[in-house]
Amino acid sequence: MFGTLPHHGFEPIGDDCTVLSMGDDALVMTTDMLVEDVHFLRAASTAEEVGRKSLMVNLSDVAAMGATPVATLLSLSLPESAQGEWSEAFMRGYYDASREAGVALVGGDTTASRDRISINVVAIGRVQGANIKRRSAAKVGDIIAVTGKLGTSSKGLVDIMFGDLDTVAAKHHRVAQARIAEGVWLGGRTEVHAMMDISDGIASDINHIMELSKVGAEIELSTIPTDYDIRYATTGGEDYELLLTVDAASFDRVAEALKEATGTMLTAIGRITDSGELQWLENGAPATVDLKGFTHF
């Protein structure tokens, strides 16, 4: 229905961000809403952590387009119990993360609510048009790669659900770290084709690249970088690592240069195929596991 409206230069929805080209430059924009008792629990996360995470999940979407995050808008609706101390601590966390990422807060809205906190963040990035990375750009034969390690955040969520709030994984879950420098750096490499951030787990997110690029994929389970069970690493959400496809002949060179530029590991986990399907492999043979995407609690 909304596709019939005038576009005014904005690209149709489908990527991590919408894109508005303005000459050689482009703006990218994304928005995410976080709701108390759906996306976070006041008992399990400090207000500072919620502030930081609200920002980071949006900056992750900007960086996943190859763009540099420059500014955000923040809307907060706060019940009486979260006004004062909670909201001040939230803003401290949001400010500290904004300062680290070098982004401005340029607008917002604060309002009351009856009993639960709602948070909406809009993040804006700038990028040279030529550097924009889209989900639709994967090519048959590309290496599928991920930054960092997968599964830590969802393992942390399970720890939190069992009351272990202070494990390494639980801390990682509570404070999401966006791969900003990595996304911007990868945006500048023409050998990188498609890119997105991993918010629902690769088992689910790879489908977006397959659909928009009209390709298939095979992923070798034994190569997925993780410290935890393979289910966390494939179907666990909220890792905010980058999922990308890279020209096969250039992969080693790109991975080495990324490591040198940012300290972050890039790991090959599979290949783009022309099958139109997702095929899991286990030591080269078709895997029998049934891996579904992650459902936000």
Chain residues binding its own copies by CB under 8 A are 1-2, 4-11, 13, 17-18, 20, 22-23, 25, 27, 29-39, 70-71, 73, 75-77, 91, 95, 98-99, 102-109, 111-116, 118, 120, 122, 124, 126, 296
CB of 50 to its own copies, least distance (A): 15
The 10 Å Cβ neighbour count of residue 288 is 7
Q: DSSP per residue over 235-292, as a string?
A: H------EEEEE-GGGHHHHHHHHHHHHS--EEEEEEEESSSSEEEEETTEEP-----
CB of 107 to its own copies, least distance (A): 4
Q: Considering the complex, state which of residue 36 and residue 239 has its C-beta at the smaller distance from its own copies.
A: 36
Instruction: Tell me the residue length of the chain.
Output: 297
CB of 296 to its own copies, least distance (A): 8
Q: Considering the complex, state which of residue 127 and residue 269 has its C-beta at the smaller distance from its own copies.
A: 127
CB of 285 to its own copies, least distance (A): 39
Q: Considering the complex, state which of residue 23 and residue 286 has its C-beta at the smaller distance from its own copies.
A: 23
CB of 100 to its own copies, least distance (A): 10
What ranges make up the beta strands (E) of 17-93?
18-22, 25-35, 68-78
Q: Considering the complex, state which of residue 129 and residue 276 has its C-beta at the smaller distance from its own copies.
A: 129
CB of 221 to its own copies, least distance (A): 30
Up-side HSE of residue 254: CA atoms within 13 Å toward CB?
28
Q: Considering the complex, state which of residue 126 and residue 139 has its C-beta at the smaller distance from its own copies.
A: 126
Residue 7, classed as helix, strand or coil, is: coil
Closest CA to 217 of 150, 285, 139: 139
User: Of all helices (H) and strands (E), which one includes residue 183?
Assistant: helix 180-187
Q: Considering the complex, state which of residue 125 and residue 216 has its C-beta at the smaller distance from its own copies.
A: 125
Start-to-end CA span in the chain (Å): 30
Closest CA to 119 of 72, 155, 170, 153: 72
